[in-house]
Chain A
Amino acid sequence: MTVEIREHPFDPWQTVSEYRSTRLASGKSGASAVFVGTMRDFNEGDEVQAMVLEHYPGMTEQQLEDMRSEAVSKHGLEDALVVHRVGTIYPADDIVLVAAFSAHRKEALAACREMMETLKSTAPFWKKETLAEGERWVERNTPG
């Protein structure tokens, strides 16, 4: 489960903890860099009550796996983990977890950031926000 699409709320911290204890070789990773993206209750000046996250089954998983394996290879990581929500989500729900594990911090931090920016610009997900009055598609992601 190094790349996973989840349809239900998840705890990213528990996910990282379990991954470290069950999947990583003990004593190899001196650095763990973790990014967690969480839903806000505001966007572009409006209150957001909920959001539906849509994806392209098959293509999304492949894009994320390609991104993950490229990061592992480029930075010489011990491992990397990507988890992303789909479905209906609410403010304070976690949306995305990207974690990079390496011997030293430089590679883990760089890989975590790169994976997150690649995910934002290439992974086929789309957000539709529910506002107090009506719905709207998020048209584009802000630059990182």
Chain B
Amino acid sequence: MTINVRFFASLRERIGHATLTVEADGIASARDVWKAVSGESPDEEMLVAINKEYAGLDRAVADGDEVAFFPPVTGG
């Protein structure tokens, strides 16, 4: 399974990458993707999008999905 992972704002700086590709079996949810890229449990405030739509951490991911992690939004 290949997942394209994106990070924005402070999470991009923390991870040290804007994008990463995760190729691994045993990844079922966005939470698993986060653990694979960070080795940490997710922050409570962290937001997730799958294929550019908001999703919960426990939403299932599929091969080829784009999964994005970012902090609370601060536009406007």
Residues of A within 8 Å of B8, CB to CB, are: 54, 56, 124, 126
With CB as the reference atom, state the residue of chain A lying closest to B72: A140
B38 contacts the other chain (Cβ, under 8 Å)?
no
Q: What interface size band does chain B fall in?
A: 10 to 19
Choose from A54, A59, A122, A138 the contact partner of B52 (Cβ within 8 Å): A59
Distance of A51 from chain B, by nearest CB (Å): 10
Residue of A56, A84, A140 near B74 (CB, 8 A) is A140
Contact A127–B72 (Cβ < 8 Å): no
Contacts A56-B52, A124-B8, A126-B9 given: A139-B71 contact, CB under 8 Å? yes
Interface residues of B (CB under 8 A from A): 6, 8-10, 49, 52-54, 68, 70-76
Bound CA span A121–B73, Å: 6
A137 contacts B76, CB within 8 Å? no
Q: Smallest CB–CB gap between A77 and chain B, Å?
A: 20
Of the candidates B10, B49, B54, which one forms a contact with A137 in the assembled complex, judged by CB atoms under 8 Å apart? B10
